[in-house]
Amino acid sequence: MTGSDGRLVQTAVIGSRNSGRAIILPTDADELTRWRRRHPAYTYWCGTQLGGCGNELSDRLYRDKVCHFAHRPHTSCHRTATGAASADHLFIKDDLAAWAGRNRLKGKLTSRDLGSGPGDAVDFRVGAARQQHVRFQFSRLAHAEWNRARRRLSGDSATLDWVFGPGAAPPETMEELYDEYGYLLRFRFETHGAVRRIRLRAEDPRRSTDWVPLDACAMTPAGLRIPGVEPRRRSSAGPAAAGAGRGAVPAPRSREEQVLALKEALVSAARFRTRPTWETLARTAGSDLLGLSVLDRVGLLVLVDQDCGREGSPLLSALIRTGEGDPPPYVGDVVAAVGCGVPATAAVLKRWCQREVDRAFAVYGIPSRTAPPRLPLTLDGHLAAPQTAEPAQHQTIVHVKGGPVRQTATRSKPESKGLASVPLLHDTEIRHSLRSARQRRGPRPRYAAALMARAEEALTRLPEPQRTELVAEMATTRRWLDSRPGVPAQNPKQSRRAKKAANARKAAAATQTARAEKKRQGKKAKNPLQGARPLPGVGDARPKKRPT
């Protein structure tokens, strides 16, 4: 039996419905047979810690398909996660408990349901007062929710380390942790028989450490440490540094230092394809930027982007967004100050900034790519119409025997008065063009007659069965042209090949006519009365006798 969504149930707990001892059922029949021999007394349950119904499961052995767990008949279960990774939060608790025991750490493990299931997160608190805290994040957590949870957890913890699973950290969270610590902690699992084991590593924007087991890591007074990486904490960012920095007044920075820090923060945001708010930038580039007025912000951003108008580099100020995702109005002042134009409306500014964001992601992203062109602004502040160097070529899908053939129709130069408006179609397209010519608006007979000339030329090149199909279509078109009253048929100029063929046909016809005439004149004329019965009295007259 499968799960509620049709997937196979691969994980269960051993012993009882509330057990936390997880297992992945071997999928191979021989492996499952060996497992049964080693553990004949095991019972398997759809455990509550897996989000299951709590009923007992049976292990099904198959030779022709994957082995899996199954519910008993007439059992209703609404468990959503049934794959091999659905019990990872239980496997990590086993690994952490064994690791803490080997290192003589007094810890407490707790699974957290953050809205999608009991395995959203696992908390590991170390110490008699549980002052050191490590959270393993399984489900994806929005940046705003992560910030709220971080402030709440850091209030009663001396150290707080957040370790993220695959896809669990949004880009904004990654950016903030990179800036504060210099790295981000990750975890994954590797399957070993009927269980899965955790592996950890630290990564920064340019490199990562190797995946290591828990035994290679250490719990220090500064928190969880992974070999090959050193922490880097900023005094102005993060709750862990807030306690140490209480009462300290940071030294004022010069304007040049503020511009340099702001530019580095914007380039880092573009590298990770994120759009920060001004508050996020202040957290990254320095808290002294947070209280700046709009006028001072514009002044700093103009210095950051002063060369973009002349060099054509992306406008980094376009990355800044409000809480709703739109560019702040003062970014328009920056655009005008660096010489890129004056956006007339907020919609124009938003569209223009979106293109600059794409350009910044392309230039500074990893890996980099070719940036799209900048959107030009007109004198009245609107987006200029895009310039096209040449008209786009139209592609036609022609269905012939043997599969569709993609053809590109190119317009021809005027050859003659009759063929000037007819495109140089490929031979396989002419039959379809003849059919559509009978349905088009305007001077249809003239266009159809011109297409007929093209069809005559194509007949010599087309193979069977396309030639037969084209001949049939030409006959239909010819009948349609003849049925048009009062419309003279067009006689377009023939090509050299067609003219030569026509002259040859005329010469052959003339030769045949001359031969027939000569043959008729060479025969002796017959007497029209030969073989006819004479009229009465004809032939009965006798010659008169001479008088004696």
Contacts of 141 (CB under 8 A, 6+ apart): 114, 149, 168, 169, 170, 173
Q: What is the pLDDT of residue 248?
A: 45
Quick: pLDDT tens for 48-71. Answer: 999 889 999 998 999 888 899 998
Are 111 and 138 in contact by the 8 Å Cβ rule? The answer is no
Distance from C-alpha of 264 to C-alpha of 276, rounded to nearest angstrom: 13
Q: Are strands 68-71 and 218-220 parallel, antiparallel or unpaired?
A: unpaired
Q: What is the pLDDT of residue 320?
A: 92
* Lowest model confidence (mean pLDDT) among 133-137, 218-222, 462-466, 543-547: 543-547
Quick: pLDDT tens for 38-51. Answer: 999 999 999 999 98
Using the predicted structure, report yes or no on whether residue 245 has a pLDDT greater than 60: no
Contacts of 369 (CB under 8 A, 6+ apart): 362
Distance from C-alpha of 176 to C-alpha of 236, rounded to nearest angstrom: 12
pTM here is 0.47
The amino acid present at 153, given as its one-letter code, is: L
> 204: which 2 tokens?
């920064």
Beta bridge partners of 509: none
Q: What is the pLDDT of residue 406?
A: 47
3-state secondary structure (DSSP) of residue 361? helix
Are 453 and 427 in contact by the 8 Å Cβ rule? The answer is no
Are 454 and 425 in contact by the 8 Å Cβ rule? The answer is yes
> How far, in whole angstroms, is CA 44 from its chain's centroid?
42
- Alpha-carbon dihedral 333, 338, 339, 342, rounded to 10 degrees: -10
Contacts of 391 (CB under 8 A, 6+ apart): none
Beta bridge partners of 399: 404
Quick: pLDDT tens for 153-166. Answer: 888 888 899 999 98
Secondary structure string (H, E, C) spanning 311-336:
HCCCCHHHHCCCCCCCCCCHHHHHHH
Q: What is the pLDDT of residue 95?
A: 92
Are 136 and 93 in contact by the 8 Å Cβ rule? The answer is no
From the number of C-beta atoms within 10 Å of its C-beta (0-12, 13-18, 19+), residue 468 rates as exposed
3-state secondary structure (DSSP) of residue 57? strand
Are 338 and 308 in contact by the 8 Å Cβ rule? The answer is yes
| 547 prior amide bond cis, ω within 30 | no
Q: What is the pLDDT of residue 418?
A: 47
Distance from C-alpha of 309 to C-alpha of 156, rounded to nearest angstrom: 50
Quick: pLDDT tens for 293-332. Answer: 888 899 999 999 988 766 678 999 999 998 888 899 999 9
> 178: which 2 tokens?
């990179």
Give 537's pLDDT tier (boundaries 50, 70, 90).
Answer: low
> 50: which 2 tokens?
């897996």
∠ CA 125-131-133 to the nearest 5 degrees? 40
Q: What is the pLDDT of residue 503?
A: 85
Using the predicted structure, report yes or no on whether residue 125 has a pLDDT greater than 70: yes
